[in-house]
Amino acid sequence: MKPGKFISLEGVDGAGKSTHLDYLAGKIRARGVELVVTREPGGTPLGEKLRALLLNDPMQPDTELLLMYAARAEHVAAVIKPALTRGAWVLSDRFADASYAYQCGGRSIDATRLESLESWTLSGFKPDLTLLFDVSAEVAEARRAQARAADRFEKEQADFFNRVREAYLHRAKSEPGRIRVVDASHSIESIRAELDQIMEAL
Ligand code: TYD
């Protein structure tokens, strides 16, 4: 058993996950435990180089999926598992559910391809808790419009984000014990209150 806890944050671009990540990080640190805050794609020097390619360079959907998993394999082995083993908590801005949502949902890649990569690189390793910040594609788009310049994913159309959202919700339905759906259309204050409850229970 790993002594630390691994929490991932998910949602379509514009759901507000970064805002809530900062809040959660503060709450976890207040417990006096070591916390590693990380992100995907990225989280390692190699992973950050792959992230730059993934977010900017045109590529085939299969290439995109493979690079996501290359970055993830490195991230799990070099950062996440060592942190959990020494008792630290890990808070990751996205993890494997994002590949299911974006590459299988958004890009329509057959889920069996993802499953074989998952069993190869992760061997059943999963977050202890995944918070899925769920919001409609329209609300997410309006929020993104106020933010910085769009990357390769953020330039996609509404039907792409509808598919991403549906895939996330489908995944949450199949693993309700691990994935908690948080209605991200609510106010920041009421979402924080919900997060407080979830963290108490953890
Ligand atoms: P994101 O967390 O949105 O970064 P930022 O807030 O800095 O824009 O992640 C970058 C993008 O990567 C996001 O659009 C979703 C995409 N992504 C995938 O398509 N598949 C994956 O497996 C992961 C981890 C991310």
Rounded to 5 degrees, φ, ψ at 6 are: -115, 120
Rounded to 5°, angle at Cα 43 from 126 and 133: 55
Select from 136, 125, 135 the least CA-distant residue to 178. 125
Q: What is the pLDDT of residue 2?
A: 59
Q: How far is CA 101 from the centre of its chain?
A: 10
> How far, in Å, from the CA of 51 to the mean position of ligand 1?
9
Test site for ligand 1: of 153, 160, 163, most ligand atoms within 8 A of the Cβ: 153
0.85 exceeded by the pTM? yes
> How far, in Å, from the CA of 36 to the mean position of ligand 1?
19
Residue whose CA lies nearest to ligand 1 atom number 5: 13
Q: What are the pocket residues of ligand 1 if the criterion is a CB atom closer than 6 Å to any ligand atom?
A: 13, 18, 40-41, 68, 93-94, 98-99, 102-103, 151, 153-154
CATH superfamily of 6-201: P-loop containing nucleotide triphosphate hydrolases (3.40.50.300)
Instruction: Please give, one letter per residue, the 3-state secondary structure of 28-42.
Output: HHCCCCCEEEEECCC
What residues contact residue 116 under an 8 Å CB cut-off, 6+ apart? none
pLDDT along the chain (202 residues), means of 10: 86 94 97 96 98 98 98 98 97 98 98 97 98 96 88 95 98 98 97 96 88
Q: What is the pLDDT of residue 3?
A: 80
